[in-house]
A = this chain, B = another copy of it.
Amino acid sequence: MEVSDPLDSSLGEREFAPGCATRVLLDHVTSKWGVLVLVALADGTQRWGELRRRATGISEKMLAQTLKTLQADGLVHREAQPTIPPRVDYSLTEDGREFVELLLPLVTWVADYAKRSG
């Protein structure tokens, strides 16, 4: 291709078919709540209630759904203590930590840009 192309970072093929694994996973991790939950978990292991407070505005339904999806994707680890009252801890898996390392700079940039522009 003859366009200048200064940003090609070794991603050979950028045409993703609708419904392909990459697009599906991308939708999960870039979803409205997915981003906020992952960013919250970047601070370390957290409980259900903490996550609800940190992902401000999320409903119980969406928190459950988001966590299940990210868990199935292999990015989030769930550990339940069989105590009463129950205690459940959520944390990032090794893969999740890898991903969040790329996500945090992006979120930081957005927050920064929103401040400069807004």
Chain B residue at minimum C-beta to C-beta distance from A101: B7
User: Contact at B44–A3, with CB atoms within 8 Å?
Assistant: yes
* Interface residues of A, dominant DSSP: helix
The docked-state distance in angstroms from the alpha carbon of A78 to that of B78 is 45
Residues of B within 8 A of A108 (CB): 9-11
Q: Which residues of A come within 8 Å of B, CB atoms?
A: 1, 3-11, 14-18, 20-22, 24-27, 29-32, 35-36, 39-40, 42-45, 54, 56-57, 73-74, 95, 97-111, 113-115, 117-118
Q: Cβ of A101: which chain B residues have Cβ within 8 Å of it?
A: 7, 9
- Contact between chains at B104 and A16 (CB < 8 Å): no
Beta-carbon contact of A32 and B27 below 8 Å = yes
